[in-house]
Structure 1
Amino acid sequence: MLNKVPEVTLYFWIIKILCTTVGETAADYLNVNLGFGLTNTTYAVSAILAIALVFQFRLRYYVPTVYWLAVVLISVVGTLITDNLVDNLGVALTTSTAVFAVALAATFAAWYASEKTLSIHTVVTSRREAFYWLTVLFTFALGTAAGDLLAEKIALGYWKSALVFGAAIGVVTAAHYLLKLNAILAFWLAYILTRPLGASIGDYLSQPRDKGGLALGTTGTSVIFLVAIASVVTYLTITKRDRTDLAAPKPATA
C-alpha cells in the first residue's frame, strides 16, 4: 500500500481551508435552507461519508477525488456533531470545546502508542488510516466548537475570529521555520487551526449583515467554494503534484 494522504504543499492547505468553509456553510444549507433539520442532515451526510470512506479504505494509494470528497464530507459531519450537541442537547460551547479537545488528545495518544508516529507521510496501513480519519473528524468537531465559542459566545465576531486563527497559524508556521518546531507537531497544530479559520470565513461570508456577515448566503458560499475545490482537485489529479509514493514497509526476511 502506498501512502494514502497527499503531500503537504500549498495546494493541500488551500483545499483544506476551502473544505472547512464548505463544512460550515453546507451543514447550514442542508439543515436550514432545505429544512432537513439537524438530526436528518446528520444521518444523511454520515451515511454518505461512510460510503466515501469505504471507497477510500479500499484504495491502495492516494486518489485526489476520493480523498478530498471524504474530507469535504467529514468536515460537514464534524460541524453537525458539534451543532447537535449545542443546539439539540444544550451542551455549552465551552464544554463541547473541552470534550473534543480531550477526545482529540486521546486519539493522538492511542495512535502514537500503537504506531509510534503521528506522521501523515506514513499512512500506509489500514490501522494508521483509521487513526488518521478519526483524528480528522475530531479536529473538525473541535474547530467548529472553538470557532463558534470565539465568534459567538465571546462575541468577537466572524472576521475578527478569522484574523485570530489566521494569526495563530502564522505563529505556528514561524515557529516551525524559524525556531525549528517539530514538523509533525506544527502540521497538526496548523491542521486543527484551519478548521475554525475556515468556519469563521464561511460564517462571515454567508451570515446576514445584522449578524456580522456579508450576506452571501449558505447556497452561494457553498457553491463558490465547492467549485474552487473541484478546480484545484482536478488540477492535482492531472498534474499529480501532491502524489506521494511511499509504500508500506515490507516485513523483514531472514
Structure 2
Amino acid sequence: MFLNNSLVGTKDLGSKILTKVPEITVFFWIVKVLTTGMGEVFSDYLLTHINPIIGIALGLIGLIASLVMQFSARRYLPWVYWLTVVMVSIFGTMFADVLHVGFGIPYQVSTIFFLAAMAIIFVAWYTSEKTLAIHSIHTRRREAFYWSIVLVTFALGTATGDLTATTLNLGYFTSGVLFAVLIAVPALAYWLFGLNEIFAFWFAYIMTRPLGASIADWMGMQRFRGGLGLGTGPVSLVLTIIIIALVGYLTVTRRDVQNEHAV
C-alpha cells in the first residue's frame, strides 16, 4: 500500500480518462510532507508581508487555476498534480488560520469542524463510489471527491498542528515528533498486522499535514516562539527548490507513473 500499487480499486468501465494520481512510492510521501511544510510557512509569509486580504485572494486564485489544470489534464502529470497539492496546502493553511485569527474560533473547535467535514466527504464518497482507493480515480466525480478530501485534510492538519503546538503548549518540535510517531502507526499496523490498506493510507496521508507543518514552523518561527528563527521566507524558498527538484526528477524518470491505459 505505502510503496506499491496495491490500492488499485474498482475501475469505472464507462470512464474516458486515465489515472490522475501518482503511484504510491517513497517519493510520494517525501514530496507530500515537503509540500505540507512549504504551504504552511509560505502562507504565513504571505499573510505577514502583504495585506492579508490580498494574500488570501492570491491563494484562492492560485488554487482555482491549479485545479482547472488538474481537472483538464487527461492523465497524471507530475508538475500539475504537485502544483495543485502545493496550492491546496497554501490555501488550506490560510483558511484554517483565518478561522482562528480572523474570527477567533479556537483550534479545538476548528479541528472538530474539519474532522466532521472530512467524515461527511468520506461517507459521501464511499456511498456514491463504493471505494475510497485513490487509484480508482478514473471519473470526474471521484476526482472531485479526492480533491475535496485533500483540501479538508490540509485545513484539518493546520488546525491540529497549531492545537498541539500552541493551545496544548507542546511546541512545534515536540508536535513534529508526535506526528512522526503517529504517521508510523498505520504503516507498522499494515505491514505487521494487516490493517486495511485504504484506511492505513488515508490515516498516514492526514498525518503528513501536521507533521510537515510542525517541522516547517519549528524551522521558520522566531526563537521566542519556540522555533529556530530561520524565517518563513528562507524556509519557504528552500522547500520550494527541493520540491521542484524532486518533481523534475519524477517527471524525467516517470518513477511514480502507474501503468497507463484507458479504462
TM-score with structure 1 length normalisation?
0.95
- Inter-partner Cα distance in structure 2 for 1:63 and 1:98: 34
2:192 equivalent to 1:170: no
- Percent identity over paired residues: 48
What residue is the counterpart of 1:252 in the other structure?
none
Residue-by-residue CA offset, 1:152-174 (whole Å, 9 max, x unaligned): 00000111000000001111110
Q: Which residue of 1 aligns with 2:51?
A: 36
Question: Partners of 2:180 and 2:262 in 1: how far apart?
Answer: 35
Q: Whole-Å Cα distance in 1 between the matches of residues 261 and 161 of structure 2?
A: 37
Structure 1 stretches of 4+ moved >6 Å: none
Among 34, 39, 55, the alignment partner of 1:18 is 34
CA distance in 2, matches of 1:120, 1:8: 10
Provide the rounded CA distance (Å) in 2 between the counterparts of 1:162 and 1:175: 20
1:63 maps to a residue whose letter is L
2: distance between equivalents of 1:197 and 1:142?
Answer: 12
Counterpart-to-counterpart distance in 2, 1:25 and 1:231: 19
Distance in 2 (CA, whole Å) between partners of 1:171 and 1:92 is 28
Report the 3-state secondary structure (helix = DSSP H, G, I; strand = E; otherwise coil) of the residue aligned with 2:76: coil
Query: Structure 2: 5+ residue runs without aligned partners?
Result: 1-16
Residue 250 of structure 2, aligned match among 215, 236, 247 = 236
Corresponding position: 1:223 with 2:237:
yes
Query: C-alpha distance in 1, partners of 2:162/2:30?
Result: 22
Match of 1:65 among 59, 79, 95: 79
- Matching residue within 211, 220, 227 for 1:197: 211
1:235-254, CA deviations, whole angstroms, 9 ceiling, x for partnerless residues?
Answer: 000000000135464xxxxx
Corresponding position of 2:43: 27
For the aligned residue pairs, the C-alpha RMSD in angstroms reads 0.9
Provide the rounded CA distance (Å) in 1 between the counterparts of 2:248 and 2:66.
18
TM-score norm. by structure 2 comes to: 0.92
Residue from 95, 104, 128 that aligns with 2:142 = 128
Structure 1 residues 188 and 246, CA, compared in 2 at 3 Å: closer, same or farther?
farther
Tell me if structure 2 keeps the 8 A contact 1:124–1:248: no
**Alpha-carbon distance in structure 2 between the residues aligned to 1:26 and 1:84:** 15
What is the one-letter code of the residue matched to 1:48? G
Instruction: Give the counterpart letter for 2:26 in structure 1.
Output: L
Contact kept? 1:26, 1:218, Cα under 8 Å: yes
Q: CA deviation at 1:40?
A: 2.3
Tell me: CA distance 1:103–1:248, structure 2 relative to 1, closer, same or farther (3 Å).
Answer: farther
Q: Which moved more, 1:54-63 or 1:240-249?
A: 240-249
Instruction: Tell me how far apart the structure 2 counterparts of residues 248 and 127 of structure 1 sit (CA, whole Å).
Output: 17
Aligned to 1:153: 167
Q: Return the alpha-carbon distance in structure 2 between the equivalents of residues 55 and 170 of structure 1.
A: 33
Q: Deviations over 1:44-66 (max 9, x none)?
A: 11111101111110111000000
